[in-house]
Structure formats: structure tokens, C-alpha cells
Amino acid sequence: MFYQYNPRGATWGNIVWAHSVSKDLVNWTPLDPALFPSQPSDINGCWSGSATLLPGNKPAILYTGIDSMNRQVQNLAQPKNLSDPFLREWVKSPKNPLMEPTSANNIDSSSFRDPTTAWLGKDGQWRVLVGSLRETSGTALLYKSKDFVDWVQAEQPLHSTLGSGMWECPDFFPVLSNGQLGVDTSLNGDHVRHVLKASLSAKKHDYYMIGSYNATKDVFIPDNGTNQFVLSYDYGKYYASKTFFDDGKKRRILLAWVSESSSSADDKKKGWSGIYVSCL
């Protein structure tokens, strides 16, 4: 598991990717940080992102870096040694950043973050979502790539909701229409529905929609006939969740951050802040 971490204190800042491993999702052993600022594209912080398994079971991380101009950009990192079962060392692409806000694509450089796990379309192209904001509309920007390095922004987002504010940590995955098993992120067809989830920055809660994914037009169509988020994962301080597919046990696992309600002074006194919870 990777998670946002400040190695210099209990409050937010100096963000790196901490790294822990577990055999049961309950007991965790911390390792050295997996990602820390080292390139112009992430010199001011390595923010949230997601991992994707490429062909040959080769994992790749897409993550948001804060570059030397304090812009939010998307970067790639891959394992240095695939024979290491803990994947302790990661190598960043020399082509970083792979996605960046420009005047041409009309993206606010302060509202462009948290890429999802990518999925593979029938056309052989990878697709990934990046959370963003356009005026008051939260949106899931869509990017495509044939090689996981050169990404092109789609003409339209996968989905957008008027008045919802910034979408952080978006998540997008299929679920069986009938059945309890989890399915691979790239699966699509009449036998699955799709879940689109966003962490709404203005409300500090996680909301989701269930609907269908039109792979030809690359758009998400909610089942409820409205673009508004009405379903919530949880009603407490539950935020920035992510799912991954466990192929071994055919289940989808949800991990989320619980930010608690303590003050910064309390966090400094106890020496830590925030906890993680998992749901199966």
C-alpha cells in the first residue's frame, strides 16, 4: 500500500509516497518511502495517484507531482527491480511530466490531480481519469495512450457534474450486474455496470454513481437519470478512497483515509495524524 505521508511531522506538508506491506490487509510493515521529490516535475511534492498492472504483470504508477512552477502535473514511475517482491525502489520516467495543464487545454494548474488506475480499451489504448474543476463543475478528465507514456487528452471528459466543485481522487471500475465477485478494471459489457466515484473537496465526503460506460464515445451515463451525486460510501470522516482488484480472490478492495477530528496541535502532540480503513 502507498499513501501520502509527511516524513518531517504529523501535519500536512513535504508530501512523499510512504510504503507498507501486509499479508492480511490488517497488519502492516512500513518500508522506506517509494516516491519522494527528485525531478522538476515533482520537486514540490509527490501527491496522490494510482497503480496499473501492464502486460506481463508489470506495475506502473501514475501520480500527481507539484512541479517547480507549483503546477499540478502527472508523472510515471516503474519498479527498478521486478524480482523484488516488495517493489521497494521505483524509477521515474525521464519524459515526466506526461500530462500537464496548458492554456491550450484550458486546465487550471491548481485543479488537476489524482490519476486513477488505467483501463485498457478494445482499441488497444489505455485510458485514465484525472480529477479537475471547470468553473463550478467537477469533472473527470480523460486521457488516452497506446504505450502508457504518450498521453492525449480526449475531446470531452468521461463525466462532469455542474456545481459539485473539485473532484479529488476519482475512481472508476466495473461491477457485475448479478453476482458478488469483483472484476478486472478493464472489463466492460452488458453483464457489468460501472461505478464512478469522486471525493468532493467542498463537502469532504466520498460520493458515487452507478451507470454504464459507453466505450465507443468514452462517456459515463448514470442510471439515476441525474448527474448529481446522491450515494455516499460512508457518512463519517471518510475521504480520498481508492479501490483495487484482487485477482487472487476475485474481489475489489476499498481503502480510504479517515482524517479524524483532532486539531493540528493535538496531532503534533501525539506525533501522527490520519488513519486508513479497508472494506471488502
Tell whether the model's pLDDT for residue 246 goes beyond 90: yes
Cα of first residue to Cα of last residue in the chain, in angstroms, is: 15
pTM over 0.85: yes
Whether the predicted pLDDT of 225 surpasses 80: no
pLDDT band at 44 (very low <50, low <70, confident <90, very high): very high
Which residue's C-alpha cell is 453483464?
191
Confidence of residue 278 (pLDDT cuts 50, 70, 90): confident
User: Average of pLDDT values for 135-141?
Assistant: 94
**To which residue does cell 506502473 refer?**
60
**Three cell numbers at 226?**
441525474
Residue pair 69/50 in contact (Cβ under 8 Å)? The answer is no
Lowest mean pLDDT among 52-61, 66-75, 252-261: 252-261
pLDDT at 237 over 90: no
Total residue length of the chain: 280
**Quick one: average pLDDT of 50-62?**
96
Query: 126-134 and 119-120 as β-strands: parallel, antiparallel, unpaired?
Result: antiparallel
Reply yes or no on whether the pLDDT at 75 is more than 90: yes
Say if residue 274's pLDDT is above 80. yes
Question: Which is more confident, 280 or 33?
Answer: 33
pLDDT tens-place string over residues 140-189: 999 999 999 999 999 999 999 999 999 999 999 999 999 999 999 999 99
CA-nearest of 207, 78, 98, 96 to 144 is 98
88 Cα distance to chain centroid? 20
> What value does the mean pLDDT take over residues 11-28?
94
pLDDT at position 152 is 97
* pLDDT confidence band for 24 (50 / 70 / 90): very high
pLDDT over 80 (residue 192): yes
Q: Could you tell me the three cell numbers for 170? A: 476519482
Position 276 confidence tier, pLDDT thresholds 50, 70, 90: confident
The Cα 110–Cα 44 span in angstroms is 13
**For range 114-126, the mean pLDDT:** 97
Which residue is associated with the grid cell 486508513?
276
- Write down the pLDDT at residue 122: 94
For residue 254, how many other CB atoms are within 10 A of its CB? 17
**Residues β-bridged to residue 199:** 168, 206
Reduced 3-state DSSP string for the chain: CEEEECCCCCCCCCCEEEEEECCCCCCCEEEEEEECCCCCCCCCCEEEEEEEEECCCEEEEEEEEECCCCCEEEEEEEECCCCCCCCCCEEECCCCCCECCCCCCCCCCCCEECCCCCEECCCCCEEEEEEEEECCEEEEEEEEECCCCCCEECCCCCEEECCCCCEEEEEEEEEECCCCCECCCCCCCCCEEEEEEEEECCCCEEEEEEEEEECCCCEEEECCCCCCCCEECCCCCCEEEEEEEECCCCEEEEEEEECCCCCHHHHHHHCCCCEEEEEC
Query: Does 210 have pLDDT greater than 90?
Result: yes
Q: How confident is the model at residue 277 (pLDDT cuts 50, 70, 90)?
A: confident
Q: Is the pLDDT of residue 85 over 90?
A: yes
pLDDT of amino acid 232: 93
Give the CA angle between residues 173, 202, 241 to the nearest 5°.
Answer: 30
The pLDDT score that the predictor gives to residue 124 is 96
CB atoms under 10 Å from CB of 185, counted, come to 22
Mean pLDDT of the chain: 94
Quote the pLDDT of residue 259: 82
